[in-house]
Structure 1
């Protein structure tokens, strides 16, 4: 992925990691389009970045995604980078079917549906990038958020398969796997001192994205406790530590 001159879509770009990535990519000389459900949140980000664009979409709605993809390609024919950042994370008491279905629709089916809709366009570009945002919880689940953790594990697996399928094309697949970060993803996260400060996370991510040769997974040091737990033979211990308070 070139560091400038791209046309980049970031879903979930109205807040948190998505908004922070939008700022960095815009500052580096890219055309950035942020997307999300809340027009006011998108407008607030765009107001601080002249030239940035915003479009609304519900990533849990299949028909809305298809219509959004058509508008996106028509309005931004140079689109060559898609960052699948939109996601929801909700605590589930045992099984809450409404939460589980909404989480799967947004976190997993959303990226799959949007990629399906945009893939012919991306394949026609000289070079393109699919960037998925998973989580350290893809590798060691948080029992209080079982469906969130499961969707991120599935998105990690999907990213690996898509990378292999597209290896002979001009599309690269990059996975960002954040640790807990101080954002509004869940109530209390933004103020939780155990979470990684957002500015620190984004600074480390941008440094990793600049590395050559390019990395397939962007894992900051703080997430390796989770990412590498099974590789270290410490999955049970890390799972126990992560879930001790729940």
Structure 2
């Protein structure tokens, strides 16, 4: 993936990993369109950075995605990178009956959102030089967290779908998976200061270094990801699953 000279569309750009990626990419010489449901937080991402363009978009709304894609391509016809980052992580007890609204919203946001965004833009991206799609999954795609079982399942699906998408778009669009470990962000209550989680700045520093490699790795995984990513291959899946789910979250 080119490190500069791109026009990047990044969903979920109002906080956390999305905000930091948008700002780092902007400062490296890219234009970045950031989307999310709350315009005020997107404007905070863009503050002092004229090459970041905040635009409200709810990725759970299929009609809004279609209309947004048409509008954004008219305004930015050289758009060449899509980053599917928007996500939610409900913590739930799946051992008892419950209101499934949060679980269903998680599936729509984390899985259908990226599928719909990609579908709306893939024909355009296939015609662009240096085109790339970056799908943000999670370390929990490799070993699930029971308290966030639906989230973990959506990220496992994103991992699988990204592999298929990469094969389907070979030779026309570079497809990259970014799989964060546990990072100090606002994704869940108290997570931004949780001890043992990777500091956000350190995570972004390592990610930007990996993205700058040529060729860019198909899966951007910082060193800490190895505990989860390699668990099955190293024959320690059961132990890793037990340790992950015994730890406080």
Q: CA RMSD in A?
A: 1.0
Conservation of the 8 A alpha-carbon contact between 2:35 and 2:57? yes
Match of 1:166 among 169, 174, 184: 169
* Map of 2:143 onto structure 1: 140
* Map of 2:188 onto structure 1: 186
Structure 1 runs of 4+ with >6 Å offset: none
Deviation readout 1:185-232 (Å, 9 max, x if unpaired) = 000100102110000000000011111222100000011100010010
TM-score w.r.t. the length of structure 1 is 0.97
* Map of 2:110 onto structure 1: 107
Provide the C-alpha distance between the structure 1 equivalents of 2:85 and 2:69, rounded to a whole number of angstroms.
16
Note the C-alpha offset of 1:28. 0.5
Distance verdict in 2 for CA 1:136–1:143, change over 3 Å: same
Note the C-alpha offset of 1:157. 0.2
- Give secondary structure in 2 for the equivalent of 1:174: strand
Please tell me whether residue 126 in structure 1 is matched to residue 129 in structure 2.
Answer: yes
Match of 2:119 among 112, 116, 119: 116
Provide the C-alpha distance between the structure 1 equivalents of 2:152 and 2:168, rounded to a whole number of angstroms.
24
- Give secondary structure in 1 for the equivalent of 2:147: coil
Please tell me whether residue 65 in structure 1 is matched to residue 65 in structure 2.
Answer: yes
Corresponding residue pairs, total: 245
* Map of 1:14 onto structure 2: 14
Match of 2:242 among 216, 240, 243: 240
Deviation readout 1:128-169 (Å, 9 max, x if unpaired) = 00000000000000000011000000000000000001113x
Note the C-alpha offset of 1:96. 4.1
Provide the C-alpha distance between the structure 1 equivalents of 2:83 and 2:155, rounded to a whole number of angstroms.
15
Which is further off, 203-212 or 91-100? 91-100
Provide the C-alpha distance between the structure 2 equivalents of 1:23 and 1:245, rounded to a whole number of angstroms.
32
Conservation of the 8 A alpha-carbon contact between 2:135 and 2:158? yes
Any gaps of 5 or more consecutive residues in structure 1? none
Which is further off, 66-75 or 218-227? 66-75
Which is further off, 40-49 or 87-96? 87-96
Note the C-alpha offset of 1:245. 4.1
Provide the C-alpha distance between the structure 1 equivalents of 2:48 and 2:235, rounded to a whole number of angstroms.
46
Deviation readout 1:94-127 (Å, 9 max, x if unpaired) = 2541111100000000000010000111011122
Conservation of the 8 A alpha-carbon contact between 2:57 and 2:65? yes
Deviation readout 1:41-87 (Å, 9 max, x if unpaired) = 00111113122101111111111111111111111111000110000
Provide the C-alpha distance between the structure 2 equivalents of 1:215 and 1:173, rounded to a whole number of angstroms.
10
* Map of 1:156 onto structure 2: 159
Distance verdict in 2 for CA 1:206–1:245, change over 3 Å: closer
- Give secondary structure in 2 for the equivalent of 1:9: strand
TM-score w.r.t. the length of structure 2 is 0.96
Which is further off, 228-237 or 49-58? 49-58
